[in-house]
Amino acid sequence: MTNPLPIRLGLTLWSHPQWQQTLYGRGTPASGRLEKYAQVFHTVEGNTTFYASPSPTTVANWKAATGPDFRFTFKLPKQITHELMLKGCEDLLNHFMQLMAPLHERVGLWTIQLPAAFGPEHLPALKRFCRYFPTSFPLGVEVRHPAFFQKGPEEKQFNQWLAETQTDRIIMDSRPVFAALPETDAVIDAQKKKPRVPVHAISTGNTPMIRFIGHPDITHNDTFFTPWLQKLPEWIAQGKQPYLMIHTPDNQLAPELAQHLYHQLQQHIRLPDLPPFPGSEQNDQMTMF
């Protein structure tokens, strides 16, 4: 049994054609990308389940491609969270959870991403919905309604309930991407789609998750990441295991940004080294000939 990781580092997805020459290595088929990804990173955001439920064969393939220490953070389907707003969806949830049963032990967090329309008046529905999960299932909630960021009674009530139930509040740090000049299609698109909400660095459970939406210039992220160099070690010292998810506008350089920020974190707390990217090793071998 390996020692638990102090922190889990991951990206928003595991399959990207632009990572072929670096992260995966030439010749890696699309079906082999998750296996190569999991050789480097400790977790991944399961965005794919937000848009469509996978087939049983796909779930089995995901399990076969990852080891027992890897953790997914699957998003619940948008039909449940956005279309039904968590109401009248118990059967849909049961079907989804049964489908994902082979991977239950590899889920670090089931994430409930809620739309901006989901305000404080809907909080009773969220509380009822979360009772459908066994207490052993780790849950994370991401809210986008402004009232949950104003430090008023609505946010205090929300945070108190999260802490009482040990449900993690997913933290969105989109400051870096909004600091970028809207000069490329990728940045313009990201600034349209990503929520611009205040960063409330609060941990209400044992696996706080930060979604860090990076600036397209890797070094421009350093200033925005500086507060996390203090907060993350603080949480780790408290016995928590943070999840750090790295995005960039088009995600082409997301692996390199994750690597860069992890190296910074290693200057502040003892962490195991990240394995080299499989594609990088392949490129190094090619230069020898």
**131-167 pLDDT per residue, tens:** 999 999 999 999 999 999 999 999 999 999 999 999 9
Q: Which two tokens stand for residue 54?
A: 């996978």
Q: Is a pLDDT exceeding 70 seen at residue 192?
A: yes
- 7 to each of 30, 75, 190, how far by Cα in Å? 28, 20, 26
Is it the case that residue 203 has pLDDT exceeding 70? Answer: yes
The answer to whether residue 273 is domain-embedded is yes
Question: What range does the domain containing 274 cover?
Answer: 8-286
What is the number of domains present in the chain? 1
Give the model's pLDDT for residue 1. Answer: 38
Backbone angles phi, psi at 111, to 5 degrees: -105, 130
261 CB-side CA count, 13 A:
33
Helical H segments across 226-286, by residue range = 228-237, 254-266, 278-286
Q: In whole numbers, what is the pLDDT of the chain averaged over residues? A: 94
Task: Report residue 24's pLDDT band, with 50, 70 and 90 as the boundaries.
Answer: very high
HSE-up of 263 (CA within 13 Å, CB side)? 11
Task: Evaluate if residue 209 carries a pLDDT over 70.
Answer: yes
1 assigned to some structural domain: no
β-pair type (209-213, 171-173): parallel
pLDDT category, 280, cuts 50, 70, 90? confident
In a domain, 200, yes or no: yes
In a domain, residue 131? The reply is yes
Say if 2 falls within a structural domain: no
CA 174 to chain centre: 13
- pLDDT confidence of 2, banded at 50, 70, 90? low
Residue 289: pLDDT band by 50, 70, 90 thresholds? very low
Mean pLDDT computed over 95-110: 97
For residue 3, tell me if it sits in a domain. Answer: no
Instruction: Answer whether residue 112 is part of any domain.
Output: yes
pLDDT of 282 reads 59
Mean pLDDT of 241-247: 97
Percent of the chain whose predicted confidence (pLDDT) is above 70: 96
CATH number for 197:
3.20.20.410
